[in-house]
Every structure is written in structure tokens, then in C-alpha cells.
Chain A
Amino acid sequence: MLTIPQTAGGRPARLVTLFGILDARGSKRVHYIFDDGSPAYAEAQLPADGPVRSMTLQTPAAAWHERELHDQFGIEIVGHPDLRPLIFHENWPEGAHPMVDAVSEVPWANRKYRFLEVQGEGVAEVAVGPVHAGIIEPGHFRFSVVGDTILHLELRHFYTHKGTEKLFQGRTVADGVMLAESVSGDNCFAHAVCYCQAAETALGRNAPPRAMAIRLIGLELERLVCHISDVGGLCTDVGFAVAAACATRIKESLLEASAQCCGTRYWRGIAVPGGLRRDFESARAVELSRAVAGASAEFAKLASMILETPSIQNRFEGAGILSSETARDLGVVGPVARASGIDYDVRREHPYGGYGHQMEVPTTHYGDVMARARIRIGEAAISARLIQETAGVLPEGSIFEPVAAGGEAQGFSAVESPRGELLYWLEVRGGRLARCHIQSPSFQNWPAMPFAVADNIIADFPLINKSFNLSYSGCDR
């Protein structure tokens, strides 16, 4: 079994991700990435042609990762408490491991899946999904309830699994970015930049300063749009339609400003390994910055009105508490972690691109829906400020440095996406991608949701779910 590295303070390092790779000789290996508090993260590897000891009982955050390893690579995991299939549903045959086998024709099967059964007097099961009542991504929730109170929630996801990591393989480094942009559409720019930075690290080249500054503007704009949208969504889920409509209006004004500034509403097709595809006129950056200032001021006003509304306080406070201890055990990241007392932000701990150590990071320890709303409102204001500061002093110079993709190289990079720590790890052989692993914050945070909803009433589930706002496609890939 792997020895878990320690932080400078003597605590076990946080598991960021673990995933399978096939080395150049075709042998299976497990690659681990830990956050030991150093700016560079810590990496480790184990051979995996034979059985690998599970670390789930020491590090619960490893549970889903090891199940994925078992599904995708057929790696035998010893001592895992729950090795039911995670990624592949009933219609996948047993023994299909797409990451190691040729997968042109996977036969259809009809396997059984066993949900955890909660027994006892008065316990009822409520099954929701995969198709939900609204414009939402698919996933299945199995509630065990007594009356209105949730005893246990079991998640069944990966309905939107598209085999994305396998699709990267064989593509050129330049082409991979389009796939990265389609992993989770509402934060496609974070995925694109993270992929590009990983490629740049692997190939030993940095994007020019002007490209880094423009990337920072795009990343912060994406965060601002997501947080405004999330706060509006929370209002929708408690029936506060006026505030929700105001939030969608502010969000739309930012998307429009984006389209005018760089020809795309969500910054698709802007980032490439080595920098950016096109430059920004300075006048456009100023216009965008002005739109951001206006939207941010409007949102701040709206947010304070929302937070001061008694019926909102009544619904948000105390709902869906995620304790700091559970969040730590499960390696939860992003605004959800910061609302549960974990003072962690990739922009500050592992600075990249145009960010530095001096980042302001709001945190609180309540861990409820209100805490998660407050964190997002606080971060939105900081993002708006960062955009305005950066747009005013864009460095001159080129926006693109070609990256040569010969030989063999590995590299990874992390980005603080709107949902939290996003990491791409990739390996290049002969100019083409041999492996690309995506560690999305949604994959990391979903397992924490059942802990937050336990003991709440089922009618509060949509609200709690929205306060986590996790991406299904980002998780399922």
C-alpha cells in the first residue's frame, strides 16, 4: 500500500486524485496526486498489474476514485468496502474495461444493480431521476425517508458518461482543448485553461503574460456568471421569483458583454496550448470591465436584499449542513469546502497564470445553504474586482507562443474553477495525447451531498442540491 505523504505540520496530505495509466510497455499503474501544502503538489505511483490495496478506509475521499479505477482499468482493489460498478450501468457487460481494451463494439448486457436498502418500520423509498422535472442534467437519487425526513440518500450518477478521457487519446495536443471545453459547458473556459496549462507544463513552455492576463479575466468572468446564476437558482428553489429573474437578467448582461468583447458567450475556442487564439482590443477590454462593474454593483445590491429577506433566512439557515470534519474526510473543494470552514483556494495555495499568493479567500464555518450562498456572493465581488484591476493594465506583447509537441512528456495543472479545484493530468507521446485524466470538483464533491441532506426534509433537497451546484457532466465525463 502507498504511504500517504505528510504536510509540513505532520498531518496526512489531502488526496487530490488517483487514476490509472498504461505505461509505454502496456503495464497498468496507479498515479496519485496529493496536496501536501507545497505549491507544486506531491505525486506517487504504484504498479497495478496485480492487486492494489485500497486506501478508502484511511482516506474516504478515495472511494469513488478506486471504484472508477476498478471499472475503467480492471485493476483489482483489495479491501474496498463497496466495489459496485460506478461508471458503467446495467447495460454494460461485466469485464468491459474501456481504458485498457479495444472498445469498438461493446455488447449490450442486462446486469443487476443493488441499491443500499434501509430497513425498519415506516421507512419508505423515493426514487428520483435520472430525468428530472426541469432543465437539469440527468442523475438518479434514491432517498430512504421516514415521513418527510431523509434517513439516507444514495446517488447513482454517470448517466452522462461519454468516455471523454478515452476520446482524448490519439488526438494532437492542439485538438484536445475542444474536448476539454465540452466536459462541463457552463465552466468550459476553466476546463480549457486547465488543459492548456497542463499541456504547457508538460511541454515546458509558459503562455505569454498578456495571454495569462486575458485568461484571468475569462476565468473570473466565468466564476462571476456562475455565482450570480447559482444565487438566482437558490431563489428559484424557494419560490422567490422576482429575485431569481433579476439574477438571470444580470447574468445575461454579462454573457452579452462577452459576446461583444470576444465573439463568444462562454469563452469557447479562446484558449489554446501556448496562449490564446485571438487578441483582445484594449477598448473591448475596457467595455467588458465596465459591464462587469455595472453587473457587480447591481448584484451586490440584489444579494443584500436577498440575504435580508426573512423568508429566505428561514429557508437557507440551518438547511443542509455539511460539517467541517466530513468535508475534510471526503476532500471536498471549492465554495462548498470554504462554506464548511476549509480555507483552501487553488489560486492562493498553488498560484498559476496571473494569480499570486495575496488572493483574498472568504470562508465561513456554518456549512449550511446560507453559508454557501454567502461564500458565492463574497467571491463574486472579488472576481469583479480582479477583472477590473486586470483589464486596466493588460501587459503588451504577443498572446501566443507555439508549443512543440515532440517526444514524451507528462504534466499536470490545477485551476480554481467556479466549483473548486479542477486538475488535468496529461501524457504526450510523439506529439499525440497518450492519456488525459480530468479531476473535476464535481466528482470530488458529489459524495458529500448525502451527508448534507441527511436529517433534512425531502422538500429541502432541491435547495440543498442547488447550493452545492455540482455539474453532472463534469463528474461523469
Chain B
Amino acid sequence: MIFEVIEQSLRQPDRVIPVEALLGNCEGSRMPEVVADRLTPAIAEKLVELCPTAAFALEESDGRRALQLAYGRCIGCGRCAESGEGAVRVAKRFALCGLTKQQMVRQWDDSGGGEIPARIPGPQDIRGEIESLLQRALNVRQLDAGSCNGCEAEITALTNPYYDLERFGIHFVASPKHADMLLVTGPVTRNMAGAVRATYEAVPSPKLVVAVGACGCSGGIFAGSHAIVGAVDAVIPVDGYIPGCPPTPGMLVSGILEVLRRRIAKR
């Protein structure tokens, strides 16, 4: 019987998504993208009004008003793309992440004057870069601090034959003691706060912590609840943030690599 299964499996076409197509593939996450030249002050105000998690905000400086989008808060509900009169669309590729929450904020002149500081990561030689960043391997321990299990579903998908994270040398480990990186999902609930701290302590130094998803970055839709302590960085130090609700496997891979790249560049 097992031979039949193996035979069946070998007959399958190779589904592995090439690395160039994988990075930043956000299809299905509905991350918003602002079309800068179609933005008007009225649309900007409307976007601020209709966003359920206050990801959009208006910021005034030097006499010009900017529309800010904090991707760490965005749950990808799609309302802005629906009602933004063409000034917001659903992104086709999305690889934004940050070492700080501030790096996940983009801003545009609200009268169609374009993006204020543009920042789009554009990896060139991805394969070479992955090798130089990871050397041989990166051991990741996933930690659920109170998530709805949406992020877990996407993180689990990273090991399926489409994404096959092991080809980059990224490996999920069972014990925090074997980990280089903690991938933390969910808002940290009051009931999990102690276990989150204990798990962080158990990871040997040097260690990296990446907060995943709108909840991990900002508390997401649960921000302000009496039963949560806050985002991941309210409880343990965080080295990088990956937005999305949930982030797609493509966004997760890009995020993990980008956080590593910038951390190593900083050293």
C-alpha cells in the first residue's frame, strides 16, 4: 500500500513555487495599496472614517496633510479598497515588514502629491542573499500567544509542497531551546502572558523575535480587550513585525528573510 502512495506521489507534478514568485505573494490577504495620484482630501477622510482598526490616520506637518497607513493594524477587511473611489486597491505583491512598527507605516500626500518617503524592498539576487543570510539553517519556534489560529494555518502551510520552507534551510523546531527565532502570533492574552515570557527566556541568546499578524503587531481587532495584555511587544522584546490578517505564506517568507537581512545589516 505504501508503495502505491509513494508512486502516486512521485507522479505528481512538482508544485514548488519558485522563490522569485513566492516572495511577496500576498494573494488572498487583501492588503491595501494606495494609488497616490488619485487621493483627495475627501477620500482620505473617508478612509480614516471607515477603517475598523484605525490603520488609516491623517497627519499634518509642514503645512501639508498626509494620509498614513499603519500596516501593523490592518486586518485586510477590504473596506478601503471597496469604498476608496480608486485611491486604494488590493495589492498584488506585498513584502512590507519592519524592525519597528514605524517601518510598517507608509504615508502619502492627501492631495495626490505622491508618497512621502517611499520604501519598497526590492531583493535582487534572492537565492544568493538567502544563503549569505542564513548560512546553513534557521531554526524557528512558533509561539501562539492567543491567536485565533488563522496565522497558525498559514504558518503550517509554509511546510507544504508548494512553499517548502525547508529548501531555504528554515526549519520549525519543537523546543524553544533549539530555536534561533520565535515567531509569535496573536494578541498576548492575560492567561498566556506568563507562558510567553517563560518561552522567551528558554530560547538561547542571541535570539530573534518576530511578531506575526495584525494581532501580534498591534492587538488587531482585539486591541483594547480587558482579557489581553497587548501586542507581542507589550510582553517581550520584538525584533521585527510581519503584518496581515492572516499574512499569506509568501508574506511570511518575505518577512522572515527581510527581518534577518536588516538585523544582520545593523550588527
Contact = CB atoms under 8 A, between A and B. Distances in A.
A392 interface: no
Interface string A178-200: 11001111101000000000000
A245 B161 contact: yes
Given A130-B195, A249-B12, A473-B147, A265 B1 contact: no
Interface stretch (B62-70, B100-108, B128-136, B184-192): B184-192
Nearest to A156: B191
Nearest to A101: B226
Contact of A98 (B29, B149, B227): B227
A252 to B, nearest CB: 5
Q: What DSSP secondary structure best describes chain A's contact surface?
A: loop
B105 to A, nearest CB: 22
B175 interface: yes
Nearest to B192: A159
Centre residue among B1, B153, B191 by max chain A CB count within 10 A: B191
Interface residues on B, range: 35 or more
A249 B148 contact: no
Interface stretch (B33-41, B138-146, B234-242): B138-146
23 contacts: A91-B193, A92-B190, A98-B227, A133-B175, A134-B172, A137-B147, A138-B195, A159-B146, A159-B192, A161-B191, A161-B227, A162-B189, A162-B225, A183-B148, A184-B149, A185-B147, A264-B30, A264-B76, A265-B29, A266-B246, A268-B150, A269-B76, A310-B1
Contacts of A309: 1-2, 5
Given A159-B195, A258-B28, A269-B77, A252 B162 contact: yes
Interface string A233-250: 000000000110110110
B9 A245 contact: yes
A325 interface: no
B68 to A, nearest CB: 21
A268 B246 CA distance: 10
Contacts of B159: 248
Interface string A118-157: 0000000000001101111110000000000000000000
Contacts of A277: 78, 82
A80 interface: no
Nearest to A179: B221
Contacts of A326: none
A162 B227 contact: yes
B94 interface: no
A114 interface: no
Contacts of B144: 131, 136-138, 160
Contact of B150 (A158, A178, A266, A301): A266
A288 to B, nearest CB: 13
B115 interface: no
A167 B149 contact: no
Contacts of A164: 222, 225
Given A160-B186, A162-B227, A259-B27, A91 B194 contact: yes
B220 interface: yes
A135 B30 contact: no
B226 A178 contact: no
Contact of B76 (A133, A135, A268): A268
B148 A473 contact: yes
Contact of B228 (A92, A98, A163, A265): A163
B169 interface: no
Given A160-B186, A178-B52, A249-B162, A263 B28 contact: yes
Contact of A182 (B1, B6, B155, B221): B221
Given A248-B157, A264-B28, A159 B148 contact: no
Contacts of A46: none
Given A159-B195, A301-B8, A135 B142 contact: yes
Contacts of B1: 305, 308-310
B171 to A, nearest CB: 12
Interface string B168-211: 00001011100000000011011111110011000000000000
Centre residue among A164, A182, A248, A472 by max chain B CB count within 10 A: A182
A162 B222 contact: yes
Interface string A437-454: 000000000000000000
Contacts of B172: 134-135
A106 B228 CA distance: 11
Contacts of B193: 91
A312 to B, nearest CB: 8
A57 interface: no
B5 A252 contact: no
Interface string B242-256: 000110100000000
A130 B147 CA distance: 13
A133 B174 contact: yes
A409 interface: no
B232 interface: no
B125 interface: no
Contacts of B82: 277-278
A249 B164 CA distance: 11
B151 interface: yes
B189 A178 contact: no
Nearest to A104: B226
B5 A473 contact: no
Contacts of B77: 178, 268-269
A246 B189 contact: no
Contact of B152 (A135, A167, A249, A308): A135
Contacts of B9: 242, 245-246
B15 interface: yes
